Amino acid sequence: MSDRRYLPLLFLVMFFVMVGFGIIIPVLPFYAEKIGATPTQLGWLMAVYSFMQFLFAPMWGKLSDQYGRKPMLLIGISGLALSFFLLAVATKLWMLFAARIIGGFLSAATMPTAMAYVADVTTEENRGKGMGIIGAAVGLGFIFGPGIGGVFSKTSLTAPFWIAGSLALLTAIFVFCFLHESLPKEKRSNTQTKRPSLTTALQSPLARLYVLQFMVTFSLAGLEATFAYFAAERAGLSSTELGCIFMMMGLAGAIVQGGMLGKLIQLFGEGTVIRGGLFLSALGFTLILFIHDFWTAALYLTIFGIGNGVIRPCVSALLTKHTTDGQGSATGVLSSFDSLGRIGGPAMAGWLFTLKSSLPYTTGIVLTFISFAVFQSFQRAMMQKDSAL
């Protein structure tokens, strides 16, 4: 079906999901340290969540093709609530790891199902705009969430987890009561259909889009992991100033994704917007090397953020237009590659930063140009496929 009436509801769902996720971000390191985690163990605590999403997002995406979007959204959001409540009552380090593993496993259902839902309720012409709305919800959630978590952490370190869990639980109830199923039973895939694995996905014609998303996320995650150290070294910025800069970047990205992306795609098409996003990402990486105060850091990081932010919705739109495996299966694999980038990006960038502080950003420039070549290769392959038909 094509019914965009449900997009505002899905926007609210994803916004509240990401607010809840963002609430715990500034608190978790201090909470884990209080329980006894070392810096290395904290790194593993962060990584294990993304690793579980990497493993299980394709499975949940496929299940959403078989049983519908709404049940998988309920599983993902309820699983997130459960993990927050488990974190709140944790008293041992293993309990923190158990909560993160359970949360990563169950919440892996949320993003691929939400993207598949957008594909269900939009036409090919407005699909990029729909994906942009989801991206805007995610961006805005990450803006407001950490601020809320920081405020409530002053009363108790466990308070943010209880608040995040309650918000996720209320969001799940909202989904159950108000969000309609977008995939009719007659359009669901046969449960006997072979589930596409990551290996088979890389053998498909759409592999280049998965690789593109991996490299884009890898570069972004590396920047997020090292920019605070780089900005402090080059411009003497404080944590408060850095928080403001990331908030400005997120807000600009959300405005572009939610308000402008659909019009840009209508005018130029997803391919041109992706190339423009890659150009702005490379420009942003280059300019970041020359930051010297708060305003240059804010401007250059925002340029990068806008460029990086328009790529994912366009990639998602192209993927759902060309896939033959089902929308959920395709978006699940895409989310898996996204998670893989978030696992490897910080580790690689941290190591490069120890060698030379500018290396994560020069590497980002190189990866962006490689991403451009990968996307050009994808478009040539699609043109050859169309001409052969």
Q: What is the pLDDT of residues 182-229, one digit of tens each?
A: 998 888 876 444 555 566 677 777 899 999 999 999 999 999 888 988
Domain for residue 154, yes or no? Answer: yes
* The pLDDT value given to residue 326: 81
Q: Do 80 and 138 belong to one domain?
A: yes
| DSSP classification of residue 6 | G
Domain for residue 295, yes or no? Answer: yes
* The pLDDT value given to residue 310: 94
Q: Do 214 and 357 belong to one domain?
A: yes
Q: Do 175 and 222 belong to one domain?
A: no
Q: Do 134 and 237 belong to one domain?
A: no
The Cα 132–Cα 146 span in angstroms is: 22
Q: Do 156 and 217 belong to one domain?
A: no
Listed residues 181, 216, 243: the one ending a domain? 181
What end-to-end distance do the CA atoms of the chain give, in Å? Answer: 26
* The pLDDT value given to residue 41: 87
pTM: 0.88
With beta carbons less than 8 A apart as the criterion, state whether 329 and 316 touch.
no
Q: Do 45 and 157 belong to one domain?
A: yes
The Cα 191–Cα 64 span in angstroms is: 11
* The pLDDT value given to residue 295: 95
* The pLDDT value given to residue 238: 83
Q: Do 257 and 375 belong to one domain?
A: yes
Q: What is the pLDDT of residues 83-119, one digit of tens each?
A: 999 999 999 999 999 999 999 999 999 999 999 999 9
Q: Do 160 and 245 belong to one domain?
A: no
Amino acid symbol at 73? L
Give the chain's mean pLDDT.
90
Lowest mean pLDDT segment, chosen from 43-57, 135-149, 184-198, 292-306: 184-198
Q: Do 254 and 155 belong to one domain?
A: no
The mean per-residue pLDDT over the stretch 44-61 comes to 92
* The pLDDT value given to residue 241: 86
The Cα 294–Cα 312 span in angstroms is: 28
Q: What is the pLDDT of residues 319-353, one digit of tens each?
A: 998 887 788 888 999 999 999 999 999 889 989 99
Could you list the residue range(s) of the whole structural domain that residue 121 is in? 1-181
* The pLDDT value given to residue 197: 58
* The pLDDT value given to residue 347: 87
Domain for residue 193, yes or no? Answer: no
The mean per-residue pLDDT over the stretch 141-157 comes to 86
Structure tokens at 334: 């895409």
Lowest mean pLDDT segment, chosen from 17-26, 161-170, 189-198: 189-198
* The pLDDT value given to residue 4: 65
Question: Which of the pair, 149 or 304, is modelled with greater confidence?
Answer: 304
CB-CB neighbours of 123 under 10 Å: 10
* The pLDDT value given to residue 322: 86
Q: Over pLDDT 90: what percentage of the chain?
A: 64
Domain for residue 120, yes or no? Answer: yes
Listed residues 181, 216, 240: the one ending a domain? 181
Helical segments of 90-206, H only: 93-107, 110-121, 127-152, 159-178, 198-202
Q: Do 325 and 372 belong to one domain?
A: yes
* The pLDDT value given to residue 191: 46
Domain for residue 22, yes or no? Answer: yes
Q: What is the pLDDT of residues 278-296, one digit of tens each?
A: 999 999 999 999 999 999 9
Please report where in the chains the tokens 């580790």 appear, as a residue. Answer: 347
With beta carbons less than 8 A apart as the criterion, state whether 145 and 21 touch.
yes
Structure tokens at 294: 């708060």
Q: Do 280 and 314 belong to one domain?
A: yes
Q: Do 223 and 174 belong to one domain?
A: no
Domain for residue 191, yes or no? Answer: no
* The pLDDT value given to residue 246: 85
Classify residue 232 as exposed, middle or buried by CB count within 10 Å of its CB (0-12, 13-18, 19+).
middle
Task: Write the CATH number for 67.
Answer: 1.20.1250.20
3-state SS string for 243-287: HHHHHHHHHHHHHHHHHHHHHHHHHHCHHHHHHHHHHHHHHHHHH
The tally of domains found in the chain comes to 2
Listed residues 181, 214, 244: the one ending a domain? 181
The Cα 347–Cα 345 span in angstroms is: 6
Classify residue 222 as exposed, middle or buried by CB count within 10 Å of its CB (0-12, 13-18, 19+).
buried
